[in-house]
Structure 1
Amino acid sequence: MKIALLGYGKMGKEIEKIALTRGHEIILKKSSETTFEGLENADVAIDFSLPSTAVENISTCFNFKIPVVSGTTGWLEHYNEMVSMCELKDGAFLYASNFSVGVNIFFELNNHLAKLMSKLNNYNVSMEEIHHTQKLDAPSGTAISLANGIIKNSRYNNWTLENPNETDILIEAKRIENVPGTHHVFYRSEVDEIEIKHEAFSRQGFALGAVIAAEWIANKKGIYSMKDVLNLG
């Protein structure tokens, strides 16, 4: 499979390593200094760029009829616009806030726990996420996905980084050197606490999931998520 990498930072380089070990070819390494030349020859594109360039990268793929997998966060105010464009262009699009197989199982666990805890008003939920200091957005896209999963299945209706009210989920976002990503969800009462946690040890899990998603979406049309890739229902 011929892959275009849109964004060639640390994640792009990790994706390249894994893609090559799985027999794929990297035909484009797009950075802020390079063009889209060669994109038309790709079987699929993987976008791990910047919030400021994600929309251009994704829409250019639609114009070239190239299926695109995006893991860039911080641009989601334009997500519905990209979905509409994908449908208009009869393209293929898969966005995930996190491509790790373990994290996507964690999402499902989080949703199930939220349903169980929604019946118990004596527990209050909060979250903590820790990432490396180079991460530009806070909270992380993964934390927002976790919060939205709780909101869909509970009495909570919003998340916030400070001063929560009774229906807000407080997310504490920490930035520490050389931390790939850790997410905690806490349910606290006066007598005990329930915690679920996912901790990444390296970027390899994210990169592998992105390549698996790219392999899955090649030759498809439509809007997808990692739930489709991993058959999580």
Structure 2
Amino acid sequence: MKIALLGYGRMGKEIEKIAVSRGHEIVIKKDVDDVIDITLADVAIDFSVPNSAFNNISNCINNNVPVISGTTGWLDKYKDAVALCEEKKGAFIYASNYSLGVNIFFELNNQLAKMMSALEDYDISMEEIHHTKKLDAPSGTAITLAEGVINNTSKKNWELGEVTSEENIPIVAKRIPDVPGTHTVWYNSEVDSIEIKHTAHSRKGFALGAVVAAEWILGKTGVFNMKDVLNIR
């Protein structure tokens, strides 16, 4: 298939390697201000910047090009993207993290939260560590993990740093050079601690998942996520 890369930074280059190794062709490599003809592509993969993501996604949907987005920090417009996709009968996947392992980790997080929901003696906290060039904090992955806990417990929200309410989940965000991504969820009590953790060793896992998602969405119509791609609903 012919792929448009919307954003050609480190992730874009990693996606290019994976896509070419799987027999695909890169027909567009878009930096922030480039003017492109998106109709040259069968599918687009957006790993751009928060200020560009919604415009990239809208351009794809308006031109009937399926789009995979992994850009974080733009989700105040996510509902608008969904509405546009439904109006135009397009195809769209957003995921905070395309790593196949992370998406299994999301499901483990949901199941653990359900099991811990009645145990009031445990305090919940989270930490995410990324490279120093990551623009947003906390990471989209950390927010997804927090939302998984919120949906399955009495917690109401998340906060970056120390919490101002017991109903909220504290998330610590650290930026350290050359760390692809590490996410940890803790349940701590006076008697013991339970911890689940995902550590990415490179960006290759994120890139592979994005290409797998692009392969999966061809020929489909609707708004999807990685649960659909991995058939783990």
Which residue in 2 is equivalent to 1:46?
45
Amino acid at match of 1:16: E
TM-score after normalising by structure 2: 0.99
1:8 aligned counterpart, secondary structure: coil
Q: How many residues align?
A: 232
The answer as to 2:81 corresponding to 1:90 is: no
Give 1:32 shift: 1.8
What residue ranges of structure 2 are gaps of 5+ in the alignment? none
Alpha-carbon RMSD = 0.6
Which residue in 2 is equivalent to 1:117?
116
Distance 2:161 2:66 in 1: 38
The answer as to 2:46 corresponding to 1:58 is: no
The answer as to 2:90 corresponding to 1:101 is: no
- CA offsets 1:89-112 (integer angstroms, 9 cap, x no match): 110000000000000000000000
- Using the aligned pairs only, state the percent identity: 65
2:11 aligned counterpart, secondary structure: helix
2:8 aligned counterpart, secondary structure: coil
Amino acid at match of 1:115: K
Which residue in 2 is equivalent to 1:216?
216
2:138 aligned counterpart, secondary structure: coil
What residue ranges of structure 1 are gaps of 5+ in the alignment? none
Give 1:81 shift: 0.4
Give 1:163 shift: 3.2
Amino acid at match of 1:113: L
Give 1:35 shift: 1.2
Amino acid at match of 1:88: E
2:5 aligned counterpart, secondary structure: strand
Distance 1:35 1:117 in 2: 50
TM-score after normalising by structure 1: 0.99
Distance 2:200 2:48 in 1: 20
2:195 aligned counterpart, secondary structure: strand
Do the aligned partners of 2:5 and 2:44 also contact (CA within 8 Å) in 1? yes
Give 1:33 shift: 4.0
Distance 2:59 2:80 in 1: 13
Distance 2:220 2:36 in 1: 22
1:57 aligned counterpart, secondary structure: helix
- CA offsets 1:140-182 (integer angstroms, 9 cap, x no match): 0000000000000001010001331211100000000000000
Which residue in 2 is equivalent to 1:138?
137
Runs of 4+, deviation exceeding 4 Å = none
Distance 1:55 1:129 in 2: 25
